[in-house]
Amino acid sequence: MSDLTRMSAVELAGAIKSKQVSAVEVAQAHLDRISAVDERVHAFLHVDAEGALAAAARVDKGEVTGPLAGVPVAVKDVIATKGVPTTAASKILEGWRPPYSATIYERLQAAGTVPLGKTNMDEFAMGSSTEYSAYGPTNNPWDLGRIPGGSGGGSAAALAAYEAPLAIGTDTGGSIRQPGAVTGTVGAKPTYGGTSRYGLIAFSSSLDTPGPCARNVEDAALLHSVIGGHDVRDSTSIPQPVPDVVAAARLGATGDLTGVKLGLVKEFAGDGSEAGVTAAFRESLEALVKLGAEVVEVSCPNFQYALPAYYLIAPSECSSNLARFDGVRYGLRVGDDGNRSLEEVMSLTRDAGFGPEVKRRIILGTYALSSGYYDAYYGQAQKVRTLITRDFEKAFEQVDVLVSPTTPFVAFPFGSRTSDPYQMYLADLFTIPTNLYGGPAISVPCGLSEGLPVGFQIMAPTMADDRMYRVGAALESAVGTFTPPAL
């Protein structure tokens, strides 16, 4: 058997099913890899070796079957996992072990996947570099001095470092796709409501979307099909089956895109993307044309307002969602010495428990929702959101999918964007419109710029997740996958 950690999820599942290798051996190989490299990568906040081996043993005994049975998966630490520490990379939840599991985690377990542990992220999923993790950043396996993207940098880095073949991310403004892009891995944000949010620690309820991360498109599609679908515990979950994303990925892999119309968003051109990013994107576009696709320029005039609208809506919702972290029922409690009032204890707890970016957004959101400002900020942002949705709907009357670079720049060095929040926010310039609209989008590696990966984003209409997998797999068949230098 070749190196188990280099195999795809599809290959691993096949090998386990045909008893060429046991699920326990596969789990152990990945745990060994984590032991070997994670000190340098820091993709994981918690490794659940015991739980992983037990889950693998159940697969080997034949207790669980399925297309991903026995395949290890890394889970972003923002997903509640019963009995397994869940912190959202925040000090305020240090040591918290949830008494319940997120729906998608239950589905992962029911499908026989082998959860390896919890991955690092920006605190409460707020950030684009993992530099805002309260437990220290994750290092990009392509260059350990650079960021792995964020917020789900841990999940993406775990894939790129061959610590896991699959990972779960959550995407509020690009937190699956941008880390995918800068680590040379695949990250898909499903249609909002297509994957359950129950048990996902909320950042921005109307935007948060859990989704799959993998090293290739078909693996991502398989993981998507396992975690997706209606959940009665999430009122915003769509009561429809997930489109057949696996079949779409396999169709795309045949390399035929005849008749598929790709929309090029006019307003994204010349938007400060690095030259290398633009070049890799253009070359990939040509490759897709060779596969039969047609490129059509479309106008989405309101996309330019996406970033400011997002930075009103997301912080507003987060200011309310994070109010529950008060030290009363769980997590950190500071200053409860019998002399301080409840209000003082809450205040001290939140001051000590939240990091700078989380505080910044809570303050921003609290302000935006304040009486007298609501209409001008939150209300106005919601109107922009409607206009952006209309832009998407109009565009999809002309084309099947929209395409763009995933992020304007490749992995940047640590510390280069933390002093100016706006520079950090620009990382999500191309990913945010999709979140405001609620549609699906995927980032697929499409080339290198100065030795660092560039991501190609494909955006599809809501509940047409299959389209992005088809185009994504076709792109992959044309440009191949990208392997980082040995660690």
**Catalytic residue IDs:** 76, 151, 175
Asked if residue 146 lies in contact with residue 115, where contact means CB atoms within 8 angstroms, the answer is no
Residue 312: count of CB within 10 angstroms of its CB? 24
State the nearest-atom distance from the C-beta of 51 to another protein, in Å.
19
Q: Which of 221, 46, 8 lies closest to 133, judged by CA?
A: 46
Binding mask 45-74 for another protein (x = CB under 8 A): ------------------------------
> Residue 276: enclosing H or E segment and its boundaries?
helix 275-290
Residues 345, 89: Cα–Cα separation, whole Å: 22
Note whether 316 binds another protein by CB under 8 A: yes
Q: Which of 134, 135, 136, 174 lies closest to 156, judged by CA?
A: 174
Note whether 134 binds another protein by CB under 8 A: no
Helices (H), 410-464: 421-425, 432-437
Binding mask 330-349 for another protein (x = CB under 8 A): x-------x---xx--x---
Give every strand in the sheet of 441-449, ordered side by side. Answer: 44-47, 114-119, 72-76, 166-171, 209-214, 186-189, 441-449, 452-459, 401-405, 261-265, 294-298
Note whether 106 binds another protein by CB under 8 A: no
Note whether 172 binds another protein by CB under 8 A: no
State the nearest-atom distance from the C-beta of 369 to another protein, in Å.
4
Determine the interface stretch with another protein among 19-27, 227-235, 294-302, 410-418 (rule: CB under 8 A).
227-235
For another protein, the closer CB: 195 or 407? 195
Residue 404, token pair as written in the block: 């763009």
Q: How far is CA 123 from CA 80, 107, 169, 306, in A?
A: 15, 25, 14, 23
Residues 337, 334: Cα–Cα separation, whole Å: 9
Note whether 98 binds another protein by CB under 8 A: yes
Residues 277, 270: Cα–Cα separation, whole Å: 11
The residue type found at 20 is: Q
- Which of 49, 58, 85, 205 is close enough to bind another protein by CB under 8 A? 205
SS3 percent helix, strand, coil of the chain, rounded to 5, is 45, 15, 40
Cα-Cα-Cα-Cα dihedral sign, residues 218, 220, 223, 229? negative
Note whether 369 binds another protein by CB under 8 A: yes
State the nearest-atom distance from the C-beta of 64 to another protein, in Å.
24
Determine the interface stretch with another protein among 328-336, 397-405, 409-417, 466-474 (rule: CB under 8 A).
328-336
> Residue 168: enclosing H or E segment and its boundaries?
strand 166-171
Residue 145, token pair as written in the block: 């001095």
- Which of 1, 269, 289, 328 is close enough to bind another protein by CB under 8 A? 328
Strand partners, 169: 211
Note whether 100 binds another protein by CB under 8 A: yes
Note whether 151 binds another protein by CB under 8 A: no
State the nearest-atom distance from the C-beta of 132 to another protein, in Å.
18
For another protein, the closer CB: 152 or 199? 199
What is the DSSP code string of 36-93?
HHHHHH--EEEE-HHHHHHHHHHHHTTS--STTTT-EEEEETTB-BTTB---TT-GGG
Note whether 239 binds another protein by CB under 8 A: no
Count interface residues toward another protein (CB under 8 A): 45
Determine the interface stretch with another protein among 4-12, 45-53, 318-326, 423-431 (rule: CB under 8 A).
318-326
Note whether 375 binds another protein by CB under 8 A: no
Note whether 234 binds another protein by CB under 8 A: yes
Note whether 6 binds another protein by CB under 8 A: no
State the nearest-atom distance from the C-beta of 333 to another protein, in Å.
12
State the nearest-atom distance from the C-beta of 320 to another protein, in Å.
5
State the nearest-atom distance from the C-beta of 238 to another protein, in Å.
10
- Which of 21, 102, 156, 249 is close enough to bind another protein by CB under 8 A? 102
Cα-Cα-Cα-Cα dihedral sign, residues 51, 189, 160, 418? negative
The residues that touch another protein, with contacts defined as CB under 8 A, are 79-80, 86, 88, 93, 96, 98-100, 102, 197-202, 204-206, 232-236, 316-317, 319-320, 323-326, 328-330, 338, 342-343, 346, 366, 369-371, 374, 378
